């Protein structure tokens, strides 16, 4: 997966304005929802001070993803580093980090970066693939609320997300998303 591929797929997952208004969203809120699917190409990419070949770092250096919101996951507009951890996003108040040594994506407590809340993915590519699956499910759920109450549908997407992320070590993170 490349940064461009992720940006393109995320944009394609955006529902139409008509679909959103047909399920009851106010037209003023529709634009806010649609922005959550858009990354803007940066006129001047951020200087790459971190991992050389990491698709998530590449994405955040070349695109402003600050409006992207997948469930309660948001991506950073600027990269920062705390020791061996690179801050790439957040889940509510807690921080999504890349471990510079292992390249694993983890969720850490906002007030104590040494406290790992849970593991999110084995690497950046796996994380982005799993995020797209979560996005697909949440979009479907938004447009077809009655059909997604079926636990087998949720279970299927949960299973796919965990598999994309790298396996059962990442269950805790995705089970809270879906």
pLDDT at residue 53, as a whole number: 87
Average pLDDT, the chain: 94
Give the pair of three-digit tokens for residue 16: 């139409």
Q: What is the pLDDT of residues 135-149, one digit of tens each?
A: 999 999 999 877 766
Mean pLDDT is lowest, of 15-19, 45-49, 77-81, 98-102, for 45-49
Those residues whose C-beta lies under 8 Å from the C-beta of residue 81, and which sit 6 or more positions away, are 49, 50, 87, 100
Burial class (CB in 10 A: 0-12, 13-18, 19+), 71: middle
- What mean pLDDT comes out for the span 12-38? 96
What number is the average pLDDT over the span 34-62? 92
Band of the pLDDT at 59, cuts 50, 70, 90? very high
Q: Give pLDDT, residue 152.
A: 85
pLDDT confidence of residue 29: 96
Using DSSP's 3-state secondary structure scheme, residue 70 falls into strand
**pLDDT of res. 151:** 81
Tell me the three state secondary structure of residue 9: helix
Average pLDDT over residues 127-133: 99
Question: What is the average pLDDT across 145-159?
Answer: 83
Each residue of 75-129: pLDDT tens digit?
A: 999 999 999 999 999 999 999 999 999 999 999 999 999 999 999 999 999 999 9
The ranges assigned to domains in the chain are 3-177
What pLDDT is attached to residue 148?
63
């Amino acid at each position: 997966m490349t940064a461009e591929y992720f940006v393109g797929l995320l944009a394609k997952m955006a529902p139409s304005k008509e679909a959103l208004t047909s399920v009851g969203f106010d037209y003023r809120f529709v634009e806010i929802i649609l922005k959550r699917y858009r990354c803007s190409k940066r006129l001047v990419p951020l200087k790459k001070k971190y991992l050389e070949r990491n698709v998530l770092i590449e994405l955040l250096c070349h695109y402003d993803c600050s409006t992207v919101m997948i469930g309660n996951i948001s991506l950073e507009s600027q990269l920062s580093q705390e020791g061996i951890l690179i801050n790439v996003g957040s889940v509510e108040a807690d921080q999504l980090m890349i471990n510079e040594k292992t390249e694993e994506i983890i969720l850490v407590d906002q007030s104590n970066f040494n406290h790992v809340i849970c593991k999110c993915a084995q690497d950046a590519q796996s994380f982005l693939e799993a995020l797209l699956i979560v996005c697909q499910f949440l979009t479907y759920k938004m447009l077809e609320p009655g059909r997604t109450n079926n636990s087998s549908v949720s279970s299927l997407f949960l299973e796919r997300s965990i598999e994309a992320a790298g396996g059962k070590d990442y269950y805790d993170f995705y089970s809270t998303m879906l």
